[in-house]
Amino acid sequence: MHNFLSLPLLSLLPWTHLTSAVPLLVRDETSTGNETSTPKVLVRDYNTLNASTLPADADEQSKAAANGVLTLSIQNKWPSENLRVYVSGLGDNRALVMLGQDGKWIHPTTSSATPEPVKGPIAIPLGKPNSTLTLTLPGYLESSRVWIVDGTLDFFVVATPNGPGLVEPAAVNADDPNSQKNYAFAELSWGATYGLYADITAVDFVGLPLGIELEEANNAKHSILGTPSNAADHLCDVLKQQAQTDKQPWDQLCAHDSNGKLVRVLAPSNLISQKADAFKGYYDRYVNNAWTKFASEDLFIETQTDAGRVPCRVRDNQLQCKGDNRAYAKPTTSDIMGCNTGPFAIQAGDNGVHLAVVPRLCAAFHRSTLFLKGGNVQPGQPPQEYYRTPKSGPNSNMPPKNFYSKFVHDIEHESRGYAFAYDDVTAKQEWDQSGLVSSTQPKVLRIIVGGT
């Protein structure tokens, strides 16, 4: 999940220009002839980071690019001595890199269309509880993830038409050994022209709790402290209660290891990717009511771009927005949970209005704000109105809501941290609930492992 931010922020971030333009291998087969080293690894767009072709002078280029310095300070507040850190991303010239134990880039590469294990000392011990690991990145790094795991993680590299692709751990693949591990990641992009963007995310799952703190060169600090130490256990408990209330499979979001121990809580989109009937039809009534409502009155999208406030109206069973190059069919529950399929899928050639409407429209469905007071303007409501039940009207009786996202925000410090793909959609910056920090002059990025 590297492409998730909405406009106008979307256009500013380097990781939004990544893998969508690069053909990805889709492999359903699992027999490779070396199953011991590559156990049922699936190559998907959600777990593959693709590089450009590796330049011959990659080592020298990454040294030349390192005219800035960024320190990663990782604090272990988790009761384990077995934590390890992995750093992956795209270095100079978009070469695929991972950080080695010696503080230098390792360049995973292969000519094989079958995933092969990444070679080299990429597992960096974090240290004992209450200790701090300090790392200095040897060069600028985009589309990066800093992975922390209780144990070890397996990474694989596969050949693509545009260079090596990193096959990352996939929590949704039960046959991936990594799915049995308690891990999490922070995301960052660091470049000479824009500085640093970093975030924590629960878009895919809630597992090992993380927080981040960005310290700038002027000593200013920006913190997203994330979830508490018991986040997964608490979240699983409240989702089980919700499942009993509305008979939806919220309890199935709780993922356990082979010993029955809770490892993480999956986002609904990930459960749907494994069980197509999960939550099937959950949003249908809400969507149908929205289509009826906006067939006779306008829905206004605040694009927060030069296009301004865009009126939309349902015609011929599609939502049509002024200045948009494409109309929107009714979204399914799966479309709403993922925000990247059906009417929310971005296509080459989509204009600025479309790129602005998609995240705001999906966020409105996700947060169930269309039938609240003032809901004909999106975004418009403050966070305390998200996931609320209307006092009257066609959706006042148990309307659909993404309770995973709601409960994640309920337990997050200051309710901040991505809980779905477009969680940075907000009417006012001071209402921002995303887990993003940024600076043009970063000094230290601290990652706190273990929760608030």
Residue 76 placed within a domain: yes
Residues 27 and 156 occupy one common structural domain = yes
Same-domain check for residues 214 and 320: no
Q: In this structure, are 38 and 166 located in the same domain? A: yes
Give me the long-range contacts of 303-312 (CB less than 8 A, separation at least 24). 303/7, 303/352, 303/353, 303/356, 303/357, 303/360, 304/7, 304/8, 304/356, 305/7, 305/8, 305/352, 305/353, 305/356, 306/352, 307/352, 307/353, 307/356, 309/377, 310/353, 310/356, 310/357, 312/357
Can you give the pLDDT at residue 2? 36
CATH number of the domain residue 95 falls in:
2.60.110.10
Q: CA-to-CA distance for 390 and 2, rounded, in angstroms?
A: 34
Same domain, yes or no: 174 and 36:
yes
**Per-residue model confidence (pLDDT) at position 8:** 32
Residue 356: which CATH number? 3.30.920.50
Query: Do residues 188 and 124 both lie within one domain?
Result: yes
Indicate whether 258 belongs to any domain: no
* Domain total of the chain: 2
pLDDT tens column, 154-205: 999 999 998 999 999 998 888 888 999 999 999 999 999 999 999 999 999 9
pLDDT at 224: 95
In this structure, the answer to whether residues 51 and 180 fall within a common structural domain is yes
Same domain, 129 and 222: yes
223: in domain: yes
User: Does residue 279 fall inside a structural domain?
Assistant: no
- Residue 217 and residue 295 share a domain: no
51 belongs to a structural domain: yes
User: Does residue 271 lie within any of the structural domains?
Assistant: no
Q: pLDDT tens, position by position, for the chain (452 residues)?
A: 333 343 333 333 433 333 222 222 222 222 223 322 334 444 445 455 655 444 444 444 334 333 478 999 999 999 999 999 999 999 988 899 999 999 999 999 999 999 999 999 999 999 999 999 999 999 999 999 999 999 999 999 999 998 999 999 998 888 888 999 999 999 999 999 999 999 999 999 999 999 999 999 999 999 999 999 999 999 999 999 999 999 999 999 999 998 999 999 999 999 999 999 999 999 999 999 999 999 999 999 999 999 999 999 999 999 999 999 999 999 999 999 999 999 999 999 999 999 999 999 999 999 999 999 999 999 999 999 999 988 767 777 788 999 999 999 999 999 999 999 999 999 998 899 888 999 999 999 999 999 88
Q: Which domain holds residue 370?
A: 284-399
pLDDT of residue 14: 37
Q: Are residues 52 and 113 in the same domain?
A: yes
